[in-house]
Chains A and B, each alone.
Chain A
Amino acid sequence: MKDDNARFEYLLRLGDNSLILGHRLSEWCGHGPVLEEDIAMSNIALDLVGQARLWLAHAAETEGAGRDEDTLAFHRDAFDWRNVLLVEQPNGDFAHTMVRQFLFDVHAVELYRGLSGSTDETVAAIAAKSLKEAIYHRRHSGQWIIRMGDGTEESHARAQAALDDLWGYSHELFDDDALVERLVADSIAVPGAELKPAWDAEVDQVLGQATLSRPSDDWRVDGGSQGVHSEHLGYLLAEMQFLPRAYPGAKW
């Protein structure tokens, strides 16, 4: 029972990361810098929301308390969300959105590669499926990092500024607390620390091509996976959850 609770919490982290980032990307719909990019961001948002649905459905099933993926998505308040702070950061300019995406995507690829060997068969199946999508997401965001960094003076400056602003949020992705350690012992989860070397190598390689400087690790912010969020999450949830809260059980 206790282990099921740890598994539930871990699944919330996975689902919440995908859902909040998916929602953030969906905010670009109709506002993309060019039509193709508008469509690309909406498509990636759809992938992420689809992945979130699978994770949260599995979380609800694991919890066994009669909730489903919709209840988890629409009827939890900020304190109950377990996403990392990185994904709830506002979109900012296009450079901020793509840097946030790239830092996340590189981690997602390594994480899903690891989780596709999980002893929880549903976790393994969702991870194997999401991995294929995440590889395309990383390719998309990585190409933009290179294009902006190695582009004009302005695009370079904006990409570097975004990287400097968001870098301190990336460390939380690799945190291993007691909960993760317990699930690692059962080979359900993978330790974040194990993903770091591959993440470093991939990020460094792309930043190199992009002629961007890797920021120093002298600051970090965390707490999202423990339910301690920035002010931004409340506003996001107010918008995302409005309809099912105002019109419970609404269908169309």
Chain B
Amino acid sequence: MTAIVTSAYNAKIRGLLDEVYDPELPGLTIADLGVLRGVSTDNGQVAITLTPTYSGCPATQVIEMQVRDVLLRAGLQDFRIDTELAPAWSSEWITERGRAKLRELGIAPPVGRRGDASDYCDPEVECPRCGASNTEKISEFGSTACKAHYRCRACLEPFDYFKCI
């Protein structure tokens, strides 16, 4: 295939993968999350590169299954899924669209560019429901490993905060 055909083909594959959502963050695609690291075609074989978020995240295997499922349904036979560990996934890879979707889901997106959890203080997190910054951490770990559990002191609603890593 010529370069231009290949890039159009890869874009089409990416379009298919826009149907793959994180099972624990409904509404966020693997592209929104930055888990999808690459789509390439080599001698007709499609290679999908994924980088898992947390080592123990149970969603990782489900995401792989979903990718396989979407590609098979589209009639693709010759493809492989590569897991790339380095560089390690960072919450900075969540796209702007992904951050907006997190807020819509009632989850506060990561605060700051790089998570500095090296001290024992907590970041100031804005309530995704009412926007108040008067919030408090309830637990370092929320419904999943990637989230902490918070409560808004203004509207009193509990919410998840997606941690910086």
Binding site for B on A (CB under 8 A): 22, 36-37, 39-40, 43-51, 53-54, 121-122, 124-126, 128-133, 135-136, 139-140, 142-143, 146, 206, 209
A-B contact list, 26 entries, CB within 8 Å: A22-B56, A39-B141, A43-B141, A43-B145, A44-B141, A46-B57, A50-B54, A53-B55, A54-B55, A54-B85, A121-B86, A122-B85, A125-B85, A125-B86, A128-B86, A129-B85, A129-B86, A132-B88, A132-B90, A135-B118, A139-B118, A139-B119, A139-B120, A139-B140, A142-B120, A206-B120
Q: Do A136 and B165 contact each other (CB < 8 Å), given the known contacts A40-B141, A44-B141?
A: yes
Q: Which residues of chain B in 104-159 are interfacial with respect to chain A, using CB atoms and an 8 Å cutoff? A: 115, 117-120, 138-145, 149
B interface, over-half SS: loop
Asked if B143 and A126 make an inter-chain contact with CB atoms under 8 angstroms apart, the answer reads: no
A interface, over-half SS: helix
User: What is the count of residue pairs linking A and B with beta-carbon distances less than 8 angstroms?
Assistant: 87
Taking residues whose C-beta sits less than 8 angstroms from the other chain, chain B's interface range is 20 to 34
* Cα–Cα distance between A125 and B89 once the two chains are bound (Å): 11
Q: Do A46 and B58 contact each other (CB < 8 Å), given the known contacts A124-B86, A128-B87, A139-B140?
A: yes
Nearest CB of A to B91, in Å: 9
Residue B163, interface by CB 8 Å: yes
Nearest CB of A to B90, in Å: 8
Asked if A47 and B120 make an inter-chain contact with CB atoms under 8 angstroms apart, the answer reads: no
Chain A contacts for B139, CB-based, 8 A: 36-37, 39-40
